[in-house]
Amino acid sequence: MSAANSDHHLNTPILDSESTHLIQSISEQGGYAYIRMASRAAAGDLRAAEAAREMAWEQLHSGPWHSVLPVWRDAYSMACLHVSKLHAAAGEFSDALRALDMGLIMGGPLLKPDLHSLVTVVSAKARAARVSQQQQKCPNADRRLVRDEVVSKELPGVLPRKSLSCKMVVKRSGLSLEGFLSEYLLPGRPVIITDGMDHWPARSKWNDLDYLTKVAGDRTVPVEVGKNYLYPEWKQELITFSQFLERIQASGSTSAAPTYLAQHPLFDQINELREDICIPDYCFAGGGELRSLNAWFGPAGTVTPLHHDPHHNVLAQVVGKKYIRLYLASLSEELYPYTETMLCNSSQVDLDNIDENEFPKMRDLEFVDCILEEGDMLYIPPKWWHYVRSLTPSLSVSFWWSEHESS
């Protein structure tokens, strides 16, 4: 490596110590072509590194995700590290960062510490190399993600029929853990907690587009494009977080399909955003164990169709507002779930356009609903059916947890 590029050298101690064992495991699975390319990549051949990554990628997509051998996920991480180091050595920090993010999203656990370590270094260099075009073009522009309030008289035109006309979800402030456990978790009743996240740094930071661009703009994230996952036009893409923010801002002024960052473990990928939030103590009431921590970021009008989840859920509304409707878990038959295994937790009923002739049991079905405001947290009990619509650009975080077996 030349002296000019020596300061861009990135250390990968786990890869260095585990590569021999990993190569042996790959050879036992017949990955000889991968090994040849990986060896050339380690010697500085970018085209070989890209070829190794493509070979591992093909293995990741050779069948259902659960059937992919773990060694190929680690092989993909190894190739991503090689690709990233070579791009960084050439000063191509955006390309280097994209390779690292792909390793974090698709790779195995073995080399994740190296991936995270390199992200810290490369993202700092990418930020230093990037000039804020938004500030150059519009130095005095309003850089808030959400600028306008939702006018209540506009809601009937965008919400499902009968919304906000029946029972509302109870709101509580200063709710103790004991009160939450006895009044809501154990009986299985939803509740909005209005002051459970006032101390989060995210509450003051995430409505600032400059902040979001600074800490995450160059990172690659998976997004959903289309009305929702039940529609045939729905698809998934990989874009940078800056591109995603641009799509949120453009939504409403373009006919393009909405882009949604939905149910993605973003906080495992981007540590700076993880440090802006806290796991609510309510998630540990009754000896619970956290199962997943996911981001739900998108423009106004994004919809998660009527469905249910297997775990306890706290949905924290950091920026913007959402409408949420909930039906009792016991009403599954009346909500016409799909019969296919992959969609059995989703309803066939489109609440935005209910056909009561096709789904007559829906006609007088009781529900509770709410407007989830900034700073609110909604507890959704397991198996309760829920429909979610963003009323503004919205940044939400969900915490899923399960009860201890002995609870």
Distances (CA, A) of 32 to 38, 39, 55, 56, 393: 10, 11, 11, 12, 48
- Please say if the pLDDT value at position 135 is more than 70: no
What's the pLDDT tens digit per position in 140-180?
567 889 877 765 656 777 899 989 988 999 999 999 999 99
The average pLDDT across 30-52 equals 96
Helix%, strand%, coil% for the chain, nearest 5:
40, 20, 35
The average pLDDT across 215-237 equals 87
The residue with tokens 């006895």 is: 182
Q: What's residue 404's pLDDT?
A: 62
94/127 Cα distance (integer angstroms):
9
The average pLDDT across 293-298 equals 96
The average pLDDT across 229-256 equals 85
Query: Which has the higher per-residue pLDDT, 81 or 339?
Result: 81
The average pLDDT across 29-35 equals 96
Binned at pLDDT 50, 70 and 90, residue 407 comes out as very low
Query: E strands along 115-212, which residues?
Result: 167-168, 171-172, 191-193
Total-model pTM: 0.86
Neighbours of 35 (CB within 10 A): 17
182/193 Cα distance (integer angstroms):
15
What's the pLDDT tens digit per position in 301-344?
999 999 999 999 999 999 999 999 999 999 999 999 999 878 89
- Please say if the pLDDT value at position 2 is more than 50: no
The average pLDDT across 100-107 equals 96
The average pLDDT across 226-254 equals 85
Amino acid at 185: L
Q: What's residue 5's pLDDT?
A: 45
Q: What's residue 230's pLDDT?
A: 77
224's tokens: 């959903």
**Among 279, 285, 315, CA closest to 177:** 285
The residue with tokens 């456990």 is: 181
**Among 280, 232, 279, 239, CA closest to 261:** 239
- Please say if the pLDDT value at position 1 is more than 50: no
Counting Cα atoms < 13 Å in the Cβ hemisphere of 7 gives 3
- Please say if the pLDDT value at position 256 is more than 50: yes
- Please say if the pLDDT value at position 403 is more than 80: no
337/125 Cα distance (integer angstroms):
49
